[in-house]
Amino acid sequence: MGFRYDISFAGAVCENRKPETGNRFSRLLWRECDETGVSLPLLAPPTISGGKQLSLENALMSFLFSPATLGPLKLNNRLVMAPMTRSRADGNIPGSMVAEYYEQRSGAGLIITEGTAPSPNGLGYPRIPGIYSCEQTHAWTNVARAVHSRSGKIFLQIMHCGRIAHPANMPEGARILAPSPVAASGEMYTDSDGMKPHPVPEEMTAEDIRDTIEEYAQAARSAFIVGFDGVELHGANGYLIEQFIRPNTNLRTDGYGGTIEKRARFMLETVEAVAGAIGSERVGIRLSPFGVFNDMPLYDAMEDEYGYLARELDKTGLAYIHLVDHSSMGAPVVPDSIKDTFRREFKGALILSGGYDAERAESDLQAKRCDLVAVGRPFIANPDLVERWKTGAPQNEPDMSTAYSPGPKGYIDYSTMEG
């Protein structure tokens, strides 16, 4: 069964049709946006794919705390808050605590939210948010508004977990889908039953593939309408897009499996649909070449194949590619050569991430190895990380035991320099 939530309001507003022509959600959303000042994006209908390439301001500006241009956006600095799942979205709805968390961190030049499911089938972990129901979409309005009220910028990370999921973490009727019926090794935490083995996913049919791509596009439309500055597609860390790319999880013999050209097709068609929905200059993608998270082993052709992805993505006009490097978390080293390949082949912005401190960020930016630097764990514990890095002030250490626990502890109670 495909999920067909009533999210047609998003398309209606997006096309700037009068709200009376939409359903009741369309009218509600229109009025709320109008009253709260997040209506700006609604007045400018999204551009169509193939939009303007990113042009970052050059030379003099290429330092960590200097402003940058990302597509149509002006960023206050080049420090990006990396996407981090925090499991505080009870009922998969990002409530007021989530808005407060992101508002506290809005000193970042750009925030990329935690992975967010485009449909019930895209859920996987406990308490992660979605953007497929009206309640969720309305709740995200508050998050975008909170960050904008502090002059921040925010992209929504769209994450479809694919096989990295458990039915206990999903609503009834949701399906665990993947390119092929290959279960991930290991277990997943569930609130109801503790650790459980990953189930064998269902192999996606051609119709499932079409529906899922449309879910990504609809999620992007909804994000744009409620005020996000753009979206990041999660093509990293063993989730659905990467499950199509990698040969261990994609055993298909149709047009979506086999050669790298075919394994890349799901990613490229998703990029095209999402860019078509909100404009390529508002879309980025995160990739993890040499990443092994979620049972994704290394293989010989990996470097060549990711070079192909870099060249193909360059043709799409995306705002940025964001590379993951989890070697500081004990994962294999990501060779510099693959980062250099992305830098050379992709003309949009490059974001590097993984184990950065201020000094290394400054050095990589000055060396033009990347345009922006994304930082994860330090942002968990330091809402005012930008100020701390600017002034060389000491940092709070993150308490990883509360990384995914429900409630405010270890989430919105980290101190700033002011107390």
Instruction: Report the C-alpha dihedral over residues 130, 133, 135, 141, rounded to 10 degrees.
Output: 70
**299 noted as active-site residue:** no
* Contact indicator for 318, 283 with CB cutoff of 8 Å: yes
Q: Characterize 362-373 residue by residue with b for buried, 16 or more Cβ atoms within 10 angstroms of its Cβ, and e for exposed.
A: bebbeeeebbbb
Instruction: Quote the CA–CA distance of 66 and 80 in Å, as a whole number.
Output: 13
Shortest approach of ligand FMN to residue 287 CB, angstroms?
10
Shortest approach of ligand FMN to residue 198 CB, angstroms?
17
Q: Taking CB under 6 A as the rule, does residue 324 contact ligand FMN?
A: yes
Q: Taking CB under 6 A as the rule, does residue 87 contact ligand FMN?
A: no
Instruction: Quote the CA–CA distance of 122 and 125 in Å, as a whole number.
Output: 10
Q: Which stretch binds ligand FMN (CB under 6 A): 69-77, 164-172, 233-241, 300-308?
A: 233-241
Q: Taking CB under 6 A as the rule, does residue 129 contact ligand FMN?
A: no
Q: Taking CB under 6 A as the rule, does residue 126 contact ligand FMN?
A: no
Q: Taking CB under 6 A as the rule, does residue 160 contact ligand FMN?
A: no
Q: Taking CB under 6 A as the rule, does residue 353 contact ligand FMN?
A: yes
Neighbours of 359 (CB within 10 A): 10
DSSP state of 15: T
**Beta carbon nearer to ligand FMN, 30 or 306:** 306
**Beta carbon nearer to ligand FMN, 22 or 130:** 130
Neighbours of 205 (CB within 10 A): 12
User: Quick one: which of 12, 38, 375, 385 contacts ligand FMN (CB under 6 A)?
Assistant: 375
> Furthest-apart CA pair in the chain: how many Å?
59
Residue type, 38: V
At 232, is the secondary structure helix, strand, or coil?
Answer: strand
CB-closest chain residue to ligand FMN: 376
Q: Which stretch binds ligand FMN (CB under 6 A): 130-138, 216-224, 242-250, 375-383?
A: 375-383
Q: Which residues are catalytic?
A: 239
For ligand FMN, the binding residues (CB under 6 A) are: 82-85, 114-115, 157, 159, 234, 236-237, 286, 324, 326, 328, 353-356, 375-377, 403
